[in-house]
Amino acid sequence: MVSRRDFLKRSALTTFSWPLLAFNHPAQRLTYDTGIISSGILGRVLSDSTPTYVKPDLQSVRNGSHKFNDVVSLSQPITGFSHSSRDDIWFGMENNSYIQSRSIQLVQDTLYEPCENISSSGQLAEITVPFSEAWPGDKQNTRSHQFFFYGSTHWVYGLGEDPDRNLYYLVKEDRWGESYYVNATHMRIIDDEELLPLSPEMEPENKSILVDTKNQILFAYENNTPVMISAMSSGKFSEKLNFATPAGNYLINYKRPSRHMVHSDKIGINDNELYGVPWVTYFTDSGIAFHGTYWHNDYSQPRSHGCVNLPIHAAKWIYLWTNPVVPPREKKYVSRYGTQVVVI
């Protein structure tokens, strides 16, 4: 059997485009229909009023729409009728409909057996369903529940059950230390072996990353040979705002496997408060980083507040492949001797 990390390591050139706690808690209600799951592809709709079309063409007739967080069954992606490069890729749907790929987060819906032996210092876990409701852990807290999305990562501190014997993980987000309860079957505890570095035999100075903001492509090199290529989204730039990812030479200086990010100036769909942003690899002192992205699927277009948005699996690869190497259960790891990053 090949482990996840061995598979990642062997897949060069890699290309990415796409103790029990007791508590009382209201029973969780999922708002997506698990009956749609098939052997095909699942997608989570990223915004309200997302249209579908009778052909894979923005100039064709609209024949429906979907709401934010609708989970839909998809066919294999196809190339549509191109009016611009970002409109090329489409998914077929039921009832002879088509939807743009940039409107969809590709997801899975996989349930896991809860783990009882959770370290009191916290263990990293990822959401394995399209979305899961996260309920505030403080009974006196007036905050509403949150949604944690597929691929996001969170620190788990315990397992408990409600009066109906549903099992929940206690999650503490890493910005303000707020606690939430999340259906334990919706999360996978990430074991330490999975977090070991990729290509550890390679001398650190022989690894480097090129961020091409003009073409919105990232390249990772070993000994000047590309070993990974990914589409990306760098900082957004317009007449009214400038969040462009700054050109220059950098060194990766710290990492977090999970980060609650907050933006006071919303520039995209659902990007003002982001829980559990996965696999964050910083390379500037101002907080610009590579990280996974679950709130859009519009790579090849500038979309961020300055960071380099990547597909989640690409961000994880970068996190594990680059220096510094992070011990598996470290929540934040700082070093001034990381992998070189060149932004052009």
Res. 22: pLDDT tops 60: no
3-state SS track over 275-342: EEEEEEEECCCCCCEEEECCCCCCCCCCCECCCEEECHHHHHHHHHHCCCCCCCCCCCEECCCCCEEE
User: Which pLDDT does position 13 carry in this prediction?
Assistant: 59
Q: For residue 210, report the phi and psi dihedrals to the nearest 5 degrees.
A: -115, 125
Res. 18: pLDDT tops 70: no
Element (H, E) at 289: strand 289-292
When pLDDT is averaged across residues 287-300 and rounded to a whole number, the result is: 94
User: Which pLDDT does position 40 carry in this prediction?
Assistant: 76
Task: Name the architecture of domain 109-190.
Answer: Roll (2.30)
Task: Determine the topology of domain 199-343 in CATH.
Answer: L,D-transpeptidase catalytic domain-like (2.40.440)
When pLDDT is averaged across residues 119-137 and rounded to a whole number, the result is: 94
Rounded-to-integer distance, Cα 162 and Cα 172, Å: 18
Q: Answer for the pair 142, 287: CB distance below 8 angstroms, yes or no.
A: no
Q: pTM value? A: 0.87
Rounded-to-integer distance, Cα 8 and Cα 16, Å: 12
Which one is predicted more confidently, 275 or 12?
Answer: 275
Res. 144: pLDDT tops 90: no
Confidence of residue 2 (pLDDT cuts 50, 70, 90): very low
DSSP 226: E
When pLDDT is averaged across residues 271-281 and rounded to a whole number, the result is: 89
Give the pLDDT confidence of 226-247 residue by residue, as tens digits: 999 999 999 888 777 788 999 9
Task: Determine the topology of domain 38-107 in CATH.
Answer: SH3 type barrels. (2.30.30)
User: Which pLDDT does position 83 carry in this prediction?
Assistant: 73
Residue that the structure tokens 């259906």 belong to = 183
Same fold, 38-107 and 109-190: yes
- Domain positions in the chain: 38-107, 109-190, 199-343
